[in-house]
Structure 1
Amino acid sequence: MDHAGIGATHVNNLMATLNIPVASEKCLRNHEKSIGPITESVAASSCKDSASKEKAQSGSEDIVMSYDMGWQKRGRATGVGHAIGAKTGLIIAYGTRSKGCAICLNAERRRKAVPPHDCKKTHSGSAKSMEGSVAVGIGNFLKNSGVNVAVMVGDDDSSAIKRLRTEVFENISKSSDLNHVKKNLGNALYKLKQQGHKEMSDMVIKSVQKCFMFAVHQSKNDAPSLKASLMATVPHLYGDHKDCGDWCAYSKDPANYKHKSLPYGRDLSNERTKSELMKIFTMYAENANKLANHGSSQANESFNNTVASKQPKSRSYASSGSFGFRVGAAVAQKNIGYNYVSKVCIEAGLSPSRHAETLGQKMDGKRKKESLRKSSKPVKRRRLELSKLRSSKQSAVEVGEGTQYGSECARRPLDDHVLPPPSGPVSYKPLETSKDTNLVFFDLESTGFGDCAEIVQLAAQSGSNTFSHYVVPEKSIHPKATEKIGLTVTVVNGQRRLQRVGSKEPLQSVTLHDAITTFIRWL
């Protein structure tokens, strides 16, 4: 029941559908109470083993861990904090906090005396203090186990690092999670857009984020270099390149330099927006130490999803004894795999199910295979392409439909710019030409498939007359585009040149301006 993430009602519904006699809810709860502590014991044992493995792989008692907390109930009344080792990717410690107990709350609601029971209320402070409280508990557990945490990777949304440094590990340092940093930067940039900074279009925001992440990745473990790069990023976007480092291509060709991801390759110009961007980047530059030694808490986010599968947020098990059992099941599944069920059965004196073992092996293999597939570069690249494609299609549809959903949109009149539906079926008519008409057929080859793709060939034909000019693009040609057009860009002695795949001879190329003007004269 806990393993499947369902309750007594769901179990009985399934059994009744399969024509199997149902069990009373009390019976199922009693069995859960007998197996649950064993599941928690298996989970705790797996955490000790994971901490030992992490220490062994780190080569010392000093380890790096990522820490995060997930919330199981709206209003954050219950939470699960967990630490994952950077080397093993396994949970080395975890803790839970709950502001309520189902039995206590039920007695209070009925105005009756609270009966003797194992109270599940473990936190009396505010929900905001839970994350720091669990972090201290995890820190003490690891310290008593002979493990010293040198670096904690996490978001910057709580004061957990301050409490750890004050109460447990005096010399612990903090590394920021890049996913949260990028998200927070994006929120700050979109806030500028909402405040009336018209220059902050979606394309500009993505360009700023791209420059920021490039600076962080290029200066890993080098805080002074990162600080300098971040302070030079905003001036770089506004055409001031005197403080740019080797990452800037302006010094190579100042006369023809264009930004790759800004609209039309032009510099930004609004001074008011520049001032606000400098404030944002200065704040990040002052925290360069956290960003330079960056890490990832993506494994923690994945584990939050595992907990949610055992304890869905749409149903409340948080204030009952089932809460700890379900979290223990999630921890054991993360550290041991789906076959933790067999281990729990053995510890409980039961025979392990052959079907459970078979399914567990199948699920573990599937999870490993899927993890390798999703971490490959082609899959990541395709995921980004599909995301851009969906966004583009959605924007096109919304423009045609007008405002269909929004705050109090029903109180406002319909948009005047809504495109009317077609009046009838689309019909095609043949092109009428005369003997004096010269038909021109032309085609373009480009570096990719997006809006920012560049022209690499302009070709046309009219009768027996042909036209073809090649253009060296400023960007690299997308691998998928190379497969279709058979062209690629190489750099020889600092000079970019266009050539066919498999050939070492460069193609004769001109500038885009010359190609278009020549084409106009040819017409």
Structure 2
Amino acid sequence: MINGGFGETHISNLLAALNIPPISYNSLKAREREVGQKLLEMATESCKKHLTEEAELSNGEISASFDGAWQKRGTGRAYNSLSGHASLIGEKTGKCIGFGVKSSHCKVCSTASSSDQMPKEHTCSKNWTGTSKGMEPALACDMLQDVINQGHRVSTLIMDNDSTTISRVKAIVDPSISKKTDSNHIRKSFTSALINLSNEHRQLKNQKVRTHIERCFMFSLHQNQENPEQLGSALEAIVPHLYGEHQSCGNWCRSAEKGYKPKNLPFGKPLSDLNLRMSLEDLISKFVLKSDILCKLGSSQANENFNHMVSSKAPKRMCYSGSESLVSRVSATVCQKNEGHNYLLKLNKNCCLSPGTFTRKHTIKLANKLKRKRLLQRSSKYKRRRLELRSNRSSRNAVKTVLEGDTYSTNIELQDHTDIEEISVLPEKHLTAQQPFMFFDLETTGLGRTSDIIQIAAVCSDKTFNTYVFPTKPISPGASSATGLSFKDGKLLLQEKSIEAVKQKDGLLQFLAFVKKFTYPCIVGHNIKNFDVPVLINSLEKYGLCETLNRSISGFVDTLVIARSLYKKDEVNGSFSQQSLIKCLLGKEYAAHNALEDVVALRELFEHFSLNENQLNDFVFQLSYFACKSSLHALVEKKVISQNVCNKLAACSLGMSQLRKIHNRDDMNGIASILKECKIAKKCSIANKIIKFLDDLSSEA
């Protein structure tokens, strides 16, 4: 129960669910007290053993890390936990050499007091009458005094700067003890200061910029330990380095390399904002004044790990502050930290119980698993992968935040303006091999995108659609020659013979009715991305039918794009036309430029490609592609982006309005994050050009 981190209620619930009679509270508590006393003895003995080992390894000059934690979660404003614990861990052995628990509450005493009765005989857990904040310094003094009582001395204490522990230790226990500051807390403190500055300087909103400055800061600290003067000089060189002044930089600076660019800074150039420079210099100067402290760094990560282990055995959502159970659970953590999971075997033996076959097997399994995990964590490959995954998570989160708009913030509903419009990027591609594919083709009055439709044909499953449409514009000689269609005296002729035809709107409505017979079909055509779909959109927009089509289909696929990705030009006799592909790949000929004949032949060609689901989804595009592409024309015209990048943006449903909204939500990281996530552009220069263009638009407005 103690090892698993649960209590009497959990045990009873588990047994009841298994239809096993639960154990009475009194019996369970009596056994817990017996085990708890053995755990305390084992933990104390283990700490003494490893204290002696630590003293031998450090020649009597023991360096140990110290940290404490409360049983109740802190809010950052109120510190009112009823109990707290702390650990002292040797730097050489990494083992716990001291621990303690302070509690200002006893459940038995409190219950008796509320009834105006004398408490029954019990082991009172209350051993502290001060505030929660005072527990940590008191525990440190107790543990260090206990070390002295055992004939040893801690000469250096590694800890954070969040309490007056070291001052009280010097005043009460050992005036000559020295302190090393925890490097992780220094890093967090510096990062928090940069985030606070980002409210005034937008360049610091860029996470890459903050990370770059943080790396420079931490590198200066780690490379200049035990040398406060050199550390001060290194810290003072950070801001000039960020602004392209490298005269004071050390060997770590790569500015002398050919083609050097600070890739983590905006536009790959040094910072230039003078107000930001002054703020950074003020921030760095505060740390320069503390060079004598910062040149002595250590790590209390082992204590953080200990606190995490305690929280698994005494979860903060449960209240163990009022009973001796908390001491038992902290003692169990000490035993596990020092001896591993095998402490359970020793505990069973001390309690006059069999070590247990299954207990032994389980502890061996856990020990082997932990050993493998630690070996893996030490490898450079694992560390690099961990950093890569963290970077990817951060990038994905940044992208999602920009796309979602305002979702969660303190008192966000009380604000006058809330941006809740969600930007849809990379529409969900859900094509499958069983998807209904509709093969479609148009014949038109000419080659212009504003030409009139004169024939619409489609084939899907075993159903066929074919209709002729009266044009409102003359049919060009070239189109008439290719299709055999002409328009004379108000009649549509095929090979000079009159045929039945309908008006433009009626033809479009009939086609939409045919589309709706199927469940979100994917429309497949040859060269439809450049011609057929733009012509269809132009015709649909005249009658307000565009959105009807968009709601009825899952997307479009262009077989011309597929063919160009699968074959080289010389493999298809130098032409990617539908007629040439069918002749070359299928060995067939058909009556081209008749829409119905075209779609029947197209289905055979598409089936010949034999694409799987992933391949199919790579070629899908949406109706929004064309509107987005049109809106990006200004960017292409002014050579901000290439036509290829424009096509990629449009394929992801990113038009000018979407780019502007993304930029407004995050003017430093938004555009770059989206381009990277959508795999549109790897180079920062493209994102930087778009950002500059949008900034210029905003300033003109």
TM-score normalised per structure 1: 0.78
Deviation by residue 1:106-156 (Cα, 9 ceiling, x = unmatched): 234445554454321111111111111000001101111122112111111
Whole-Å separation in 1 of the counterparts to 2:26 and 2:330: 21
CA pair 429-63 structure 1, distance change in 2 beyond 3 A:
same
Q: State the SS of the aligned residue for 1:166.
A: helix
Contact 2:220 2:235 in 1 (8 A): yes
Comparing 90-99 with 232-241, greater Cα deviation is found at 232-241
Letter matched to residue 556 of structure 2 = S
User: 2: CA distance between counterparts of 1:418 and 1:5?
Assistant: 42
Matched, 1:366 2:369: yes
What does residue range 492-511 of structure 1 map to in structure 2 within 5 Å?
none
Shift of 1:407: 2.4
Shift of 1:252: 5.9
Q: Given residue 64 of structure 1, which amino acid in structure 2 is its aligned partner? A: S
- Which stretch shows the higher mean deviation, 127-136 or 401-410? 401-410
Are 2:310 and 1:181 aligned?
no
1:176–1:291 Cα contact (<8 Å) kept: yes
**RMSD, matched Cα:** 2.6
**8 Å contact 1:212–1:233 — kept in the other structure?**
yes
State how far apart, in whole Å, the 1-side matches of 2:361 and 2:557 are: 60
CA separation of 1:350/1:429 partners in 2, compared to 1, >3 Å: closer, same or farther? Answer: closer
1:314 is paired with a residue whose SS is coil
1:278 pairs with 2:281: yes
- 1:341 is aligned, of 337, 341, 344, to 344
Deviations 1:78-131 (A, max 9, x none): 111101101111000011111211123323444555445432111111111111
- d(CA) in 2 for partners of 1:280 and 1:238? 16
**Kindly, what percent of the aligned residue pairs are identical?**
35
Q: State the alpha-carbon separation in 2 of the partners of residues 123 and 272 from structure 1.
A: 50
Aligned amino acid, residue 222 of structure 2:
H
Are residues 1:41 and 2:41 paired?
A: yes
After superposition, residues 349-498 of structure 1 pair within 5 angstroms as 349-411=352-414, 414-415=418-419, 417-419=421-423, 423-424=550-551, 425-429=554-558
Equivalent residue letter for 1:236: H
Q: 1:417: Cα distance to partner? A: 4.9
Task: Give ranges in structure 1 of 5+ residues lacking alignment.
Answer: 438-459, 461-511, 513-523
1:51-130 equivalence runs, <5 A: 51-58=51-58, 60-74=59-73, 75-110=80-115, 112-130=117-135
Point out the structure with max Rg over C-alpha.
2
Seen in structure 2, the aligned counterparts of structure 1 residues 294 and 416 have a Cα distance that, compared at 3 Å, is closer
Contact 2:376 2:382 in 1 (8 A): yes
Judged with a 3 Å threshold, the aligned counterparts in structure 2 of structure 1 residues 240 and 76 are, in CA distance, closer, same or farther, namely: farther
Which residue number corresponds to residue 301 of structure 1?
Answer: 304
Write the distance in 2 (CA, Å) between the matches of 1:295 and 1:378: 25
Residue aligning to 2:295: 292
Aligned residue type for 1:150: S
Aligned counterpart for 1:154 among listed residues 151, 159, 177: 159
- In structure 2, C-alpha distance between the alignment counterparts of 1:5 and 1:148, rounded to whole Å: 34
**Which residues of 2 match residues 313-328 of structure 1 at below 5 A?**
313-328=316-331
Q: Which amino acid aligns with 1:244?
A: C
Return the offset for 1:398.
2.3
Name the stretch that deviates more: 231-240 or 28-37: 231-240
Alpha-carbon distance in structure 2 between the residues aligned to 1:122 and 1:309: 23
Q: Secondary structure at the match of 2:66?
A: strand
Aligned partners of 2:263 and 2:269 also within 8 Å:
no
* SS of match in other structure, 1:370: helix
Indicate which of 135, 140, 151 corresponds to 1:135. Answer: 140
> Does the Cα contact within 8 Å between 1:73 and 1:318 map onto a contact in 2?
no
The CA distance in 2 between the partners of 1:15 and 1:322, in whole Å, is 21
Determine the C-alpha separation between the residues in 1 that align with 2:314 and 2:420.
Answer: 47
Q: What is the Cα deviation at residue 390 of structure 1?
A: 1.4
Q: Cα 1:260–1:291, aligned 2, differ >3 Å: closer, same or farther?
A: farther
1:209 aligns with 2:194: no
Is the partner of 1:284 in helix, strand or coil?
Answer: helix
Do 2:404 and 2:420's aligned partners in 1 also have CA atoms closer than 8 Å?
Answer: no
Whole-angstrom CA distance in 1 between matches of 2:30 and 2:336? 23
Would you say 1:250 and 2:249 are equivalent positions? no
* One-letter identity of the residue aligned with 2:344: V
2-structure distance, mates of 1:431, 1:223: 68
Q: 1:193 Cα deviation (Å)?
A: 0.9
Q: Does 1:199 align with 2:217?
A: no
| Number of residue-to-residue matches in the alignment | 435
How many Å apart are 1:171 and its aligned residue?
1.9
- State the distance in 1 between where 2:85 and 2:60 align: 25
How far residue 431 of structure 1 moved from its aligned partner, in angstroms, is: 5.6
SS across alignment from 2:62 = strand
CA distance in 2, matches of 1:44, 1:128: 25
CA distance 1:357–1:436, change in 2 (3 Å): closer
How far did 1:274 drift? 1.9
Aligned to 1:220: 225
| Distance in 2 between residues matched to 1:358 and 1:219, nearest whole Å | 48
Aligned partners of 2:324, 2:420: CA distance in 1, in Å?
Answer: 57
